[in-house]
Amino acid sequence: MRFILEIIRIIAIFTILGALFSGFLQLIYTNLHVTISNQNGWVISVSIFLLLFVLYRNKIQFSGWYSGKKMYKLSKKTTRLLVILSCCLLILVPFIH
């Protein structure tokens, strides 16, 4: 039962925080006069997903209902790599046509 509650919690967290991050990024790109189309929209979605994944694995997973043996933080190298990749994708968005 705890596993199912944790899955529901993950879906809710990714949905709510994903929508907030997406709205924030749309506001920034609108102020920079960048139009978001289908070609660059997926890049933003992947970037947001990577950031949320890092946030969940390093912070949020330890405050939930599920407590399994495989609960550990991402390594610093992996965390840096994913955050840098995500930031590069966000910077790349205005240049995709």
**Band of the pLDDT at 65, cuts 50, 70, 90?**
low
CA atoms of 48 and 42, how far apart (whole Å): 10
Residue 20: per-residue pLDDT:
96
Q: Give 66-77 pLDDT, tens digit per residue.
A: 666 777 888 999
Closest CA to 23 of 44, 54, 43: 44
Q: Give 20-32 pLDDT, tens digit per residue.
A: 999 999 999 889 8
CA atoms of 75 and 37, how far apart (whole Å): 34
Q: Indicate whether this model's pTM tops 0.95.
A: no
Give the percent of the chain with pLDDT over 70.
94
Residue 60: per-residue pLDDT:
82
